[in-house]
Amino acid sequence: MSSFETIIGLEVHVQLNTKSKIFCECATSFGESPNSNVCPTCLGLPGALPVLNKEAVKKAISFGSAINAVINQNSIFARKNYFYPDLPKAYQISQFEVPLVGRGQITIEVDGEQKTIGVTRAHLEEDAGKNIHDGSISKVDLNRASTPLLEIVSEPDMRSSDEAIAYLKKLHAIVRTLEISDANMQEGSFRCDANVSIRPQGDSKLYTRVEIKNLNSFKFIQKAIEYEVARQIEAFESGNYNSEVVQETRLFDTTKGVTKSMRGKEESADYRYFPDPDLLPVFLDSTLLEEGKKIPEMPDAKIARYIESLGLKEADAKILVQDIDFVKYFEHFVSQGITPKSACTWLIVELQGRLKNGNTLASCGISMESFLTLLKRLRDSKISGASAKIVLDMLVENRGGDVDSIIKDKGLEQINDDGAIISVIDSILAANADKVAEFKAGKDKMLGFFVGQVMKNCKGANPARVNELLREKLSK
């Protein structure tokens, strides 16, 4: 057992999926030409005034409601002052003293044990632009500047990288279920800063905290935390803790698997927060509060319902609810008569097992109705399970397609015509009278021989029906 305890707190920036930016009418669409979604307000030009986006406020209220947080009816926007090339105004409009969402909590599970992680606050703020470094030249794309962010700050309640990842995955599932963000980590709409420190077991004080900045994948977040903990422990044990572990911001080198010093970490006083004079204090009237609090069924409630009402295994239900797209497909399939077990298996085992290289259900090109058609053909014995897997392979490979056309083109339709199957059975039994006698003498294994012969001579026959008809014939 380690003689040190790990202390982890996380700050997660969630890009809200509003159509326009938080303080102006510029679009928030991803992947546009550099510096095309900009205006005098998000560029910070003199005389341009910000106007708060109501939809961003509603989405923040929804999140607060989902984690049973305090919703502050009165809140204030402040200016966070610092200079960086991607911040055109030289300050960021954020919230400090009175955030929109106050204290809440998120329950996680690690190794079968549940734990409650405190959420300190969730506040609205504007995003900065993006620096692009190309050799010795640096460029700035301000399309992202003033995109609405919800910054979710946890208490330092996590004690391992496993707990941190469990918290992040739960948080990711919540914002996706609420549909307030696409939470696409590769595109930067779900980013994490990890605050990591250690202390000797039994000590109650907090030691020097190091911030690891802009982590955007669960795998790299876990590796960064584990490396940083090992680095701090080594420094402590070698007697170099005070010189090597300083309050700073570090970056994670994904190639080398190490954290590197980026800059000294500022305190809140360094940002010289003060209320933004261009924005009035925010007051949430009862109508807006009620609109924001109308939230869908949350992941924990879904898991319980799937287990109790639909008979899913707990492990399967937990995998399913991690992705709202899987949830939508699953619930539609069940509503259309597909059994919950079959719908779940084909989504989280068969389909998910075929999604590689960052491909997701949302990006794979297989429509809900196309997948439903496949499951209906399987349910109705139009195709076998093996044939259904071939069709799914084709759908994934071609990023969608017409299920019935694939079945026809590949000759996968299953024969359920008893007359055709019986005709083949009769000829097989007549040609193998000696083996029929062996079966009737008690050699049950001969049934497999007959099934194989019928399937070979009647391609596409329903195996289950072949078994039934053979048993009927052999019993006479």
pLDDT at 253: 93
Residue 6 and residue 159 in contact, taking contact as beta carbons nearer than 8 Å:
yes
Mark residue 411 as left, alpha or beta (left: phi above 0; alpha: psi -120 to 50; beta: remaining).
left
How far apart are alpha carbons 18 and 208 in whole angstroms? 38
- Mean pLDDT, range 17-24, rounded to an integer: 97
Confidence bin at 269 (pLDDT 50/70/90): confident
List pLDDT tens digits, range 398-442: 999 999 999 989 888 876 666 767 877 778 887 888 877 777 777
Confidence bin at 263 (pLDDT 50/70/90): confident
List pLDDT tens digits, range 82-102: 888 899 899 999 999 999 999
How far apart are alpha carbons 427 and 454 in whole angstroms? 9
How far apart are alpha carbons 87 and 329 in whole angstroms? 41
Domains of the chain: 4-290 (no CATH), 299-410 (no CATH), 418-475 (1.10.10.410)
pLDDT at 418: 67
Residue 221 and residue 168 in contact, taking contact as beta carbons nearer than 8 Å:
yes
How far apart are alpha carbons 201 and 368 in whole angstroms? 52
Check whether 149 has a pLDDT greater than 80.
Answer: yes
- 365 in helix, strand or coil? coil
Check whether 62 has a pLDDT greater than 70.
Answer: yes
- Of the candidates 368, 432, 362, 354, the residue with the CA atom closest to the CA atom of residue 397: 354
pLDDT at 416: 66
List pLDDT tens digits, range 194-236: 999 999 999 989 999 999 997 889 999 999 999 999 999 999 9
Maximum distance among all Cα pairs of the chain, rounded to whole angstroms: 99
How far apart are alpha carbons 338 and 211 in whole angstroms? 48
Residue 180 and residue 220 in contact, taking contact as beta carbons nearer than 8 Å:
no
- Mean pLDDT, range 112-135, rounded to an integer: 94
User: What does 86-104 look like in DSSP terms, one character per residue?
Assistant: T-TTSEEEE--SS-SB--E
Confidence bin at 155 (pLDDT 50/70/90): very high
- Of the candidates 162, 191, 22, 25, the residue with the CA atom closest to the CA atom of residue 92: 22
How many CB atoms neighbour CB 311 within 10 A?
Answer: 12
How far apart are alpha carbons 336 and 332 in whole angstroms? 6
- 196 in helix, strand or coil? strand
List pLDDT tens digits, range 43-53: 999 999 999 99
How far apart are alpha carbons 278 and 49 in whole angstroms? 7
Confidence bin at 265 (pLDDT 50/70/90): low
- Mean predicted lDDT score pLDDT of the chain: 92
- Mean pLDDT, range 341-367, rounded to an integer: 92
Check whether 128 has a pLDDT greater than 90.
Answer: yes
Q: Is 154 exposed, middle or buried (0-12, 13-18, 19+ CB in 10 A)?
A: buried
pLDDT at 266: 65
**110 Cβ contact partners less than 8 Å away, ≥ 6 residues apart:** 160, 162, 163, 166
- 251 in helix, strand or coil? strand
User: Nearest-5° angle of CA 431, CA 417, CA 470?
Assistant: 40
- Of the candidates 256, 248, 198, the residue with the CA atom closest to the CA atom of residue 224: 256
**472 Cβ contact partners less than 8 Å away, ≥ 6 residues apart:** none
How far apart are alpha carbons 177 and 241 in whole angstroms? 43
Check whether 444 has a pLDDT greater than 90.
Answer: no
User: What does 12-73 look like in DSSP terms, one character per residue?
Assistant: EEEE---SB-SSSS-B--SSPPTT-S--HHHHT-TT------HHHHHHHHHHHHHTT--B-S
| Structural tokens at position 452 | 């194989």
- Mean pLDDT, range 147-172, rounded to an integer: 97
List pLDDT tens digits, range 272-313: 999 999 999 999 999 999 999 999 999 999 999 999 999 999
